[in-house]
Amino acid sequence: MPFFKRRVKEILAGIDVEINGSRPWDIAVHDERLYSRVLLRGSVGLGESYMDGWWDVEKLDEFFYHLLKAGIHYKQKAPGQDLFHYISNRLFNRQTLHKGSLEVIEKHYNIGNELYEAFLDKHLMYTCGYWSGNPAAQTLDGAQEAKMDLICRKLNLKPGQKVLDIGCGWGGFEKFAATNYGVQVTGISLSDEQIKYAKEFTQGLSVEILKKDYREMEGQFDAVLSIGMFEHVGPKNYKQYMQVVHHCLKDGGLSMLHTIGGNFGEQRIDPWFDKYIFPNGALPNIDDIGRAIKGLFVMEDWHNFGADYDRTLMAWWQKFDEAWPRLEPKYGKRFYRMWKYYLLSIAGGFRSRDTQLWQIVLSKQGIEGGYRSVR
């Protein structure tokens, strides 16, 4: 047996995955070049070979659950690949104003609103739903409304207050908060596609949608939040982000940080995801956030419901797959395999608890008498 095949077989055997086995998480190999490609190019080789049809598996989410639960992505590193990402994240600011921060917009968020309408909920919330905290949230729409309501309650929103949403997406939170809590919401984004949709979606409400980078934001608000945007800020900018939030938040106000987080520090984003899905993205860890808020905020509450992201991603995948016949003419077969790999591999990651979802409530001087956690 050739060296590369033997080595891959040994690695997979250690995590209870067989080559050409019969279980849903066993891989079926269609091209023997897979083995050298994976060992030499790591996660990029694994993802690209799947996109090229070199291998399949009945349940990608279960395959990645086994892979990530065992920590293979930390133990088996491709030559040079992880060193490049370590150096680039440590030495360079990959999310610079008006350049690095725009790459993900063009590659991911501006690829067509019809795609996101096909697989997201009715509010187009592209972040984790809140299933576990609300027994009534049995649908994707319900889980996303429960998440938005949770955020409003954590921020103690009152009618007439001014709220800033950094990275507003398609305006789902803006519409929900303005309609249900009577607040005035300013949402900012860099995506022309999102801004166009958000303005139409929130028309007639006390909502303002601006094309603006968070580093350019001015004004004072009763509450400042971001939902799934901090992953695009980058480690070189975490402190500046918190300084902007501090500047924009009124004394006595509350801020909410809703972000995916990593257990470890240096592998901030998988190289395949960096290349194909979220260029220049980076997952913060607990130390990152702690350093960024030091001297600026009191951490009032830290809530982890990352396990709910597994269910959210599986709901997205089901809707994406069902909608694919009408999407295929525009996006093509390779895109389908790329997004299947993207959605289901992340589902496996959250299922394995390798990745977390945090909601962090911050105040400037501490809430007098203490903050009461909301769940």
Is the Cβ–Cβ distance between 163 and 263 less than 8 Å? Answer: no
What pLDDT is recorded for position 99? 65
What pLDDT is recorded for position 40? 93
Q: Kindly state the average pLDDT of the residues 92-104.
A: 70
What pLDDT is recorded for position 118? 98
What pLDDT is recorded for position 55? 98
Q: Kindly state the average pLDDT of the residues 94-103.
A: 69
Q: Extract the tokens encoding 93.
A: 């600011």
Q: Extract the tokens encoding 15.
A: 């995590």
CA–CA gap between residue 341 and residue 364 (Å, rounded):
41
Q: Extract the tokens encoding 184.
A: 């005035």
Pairing mode, if any, of strands 298-304 and 355-363? antiparallel
Is the Cβ–Cβ distance between 139 and 161 less than 8 Å? Answer: no
- 12 pLDDT higher than 70: yes
CA–CA gap between residue 59 and residue 17 (Å, rounded):
12
Domains and their CATH numbers in the chain: 3-79 (no CATH), 93-304+352-363 (3.40.50.150)
| Helix or strand run (H / E) with residue 209 | strand 207-211
Q: Extract the tokens encoding 199.
A: 């303005």
In the block, tokens 């994976």 appear at 38
Name the percent of the chain in helix, strand, coil, to the closest 5.
Answer: 50, 15, 35
What pLDDT is recorded for position 86? 54
Q: Kindly state the average pLDDT of the residues 347-363.
A: 97
- 138 pLDDT higher than 90: no
Q: Kindly state the average pLDDT of the residues 28-42.
A: 95
- 80 pLDDT higher than 90: no
Residue 102: pLDDT band (50, 70, 90) is confident
Q: pLDDT tens digits for 265-316?
A: 655 788 999 999 999 999 999 999 999 999 999 999 999 999 999 999 999 9
Give 279's DSSP letter. T
Q: Kindly state the average pLDDT of the residues 148-170.
A: 98
Residues across the chain: 375
What pLDDT is recorded for position 264? 75
Pairing mode, if any, of strands 221-227 and 162-166? parallel
Q: Kindly state the average pLDDT of the residues 246-257.
A: 98
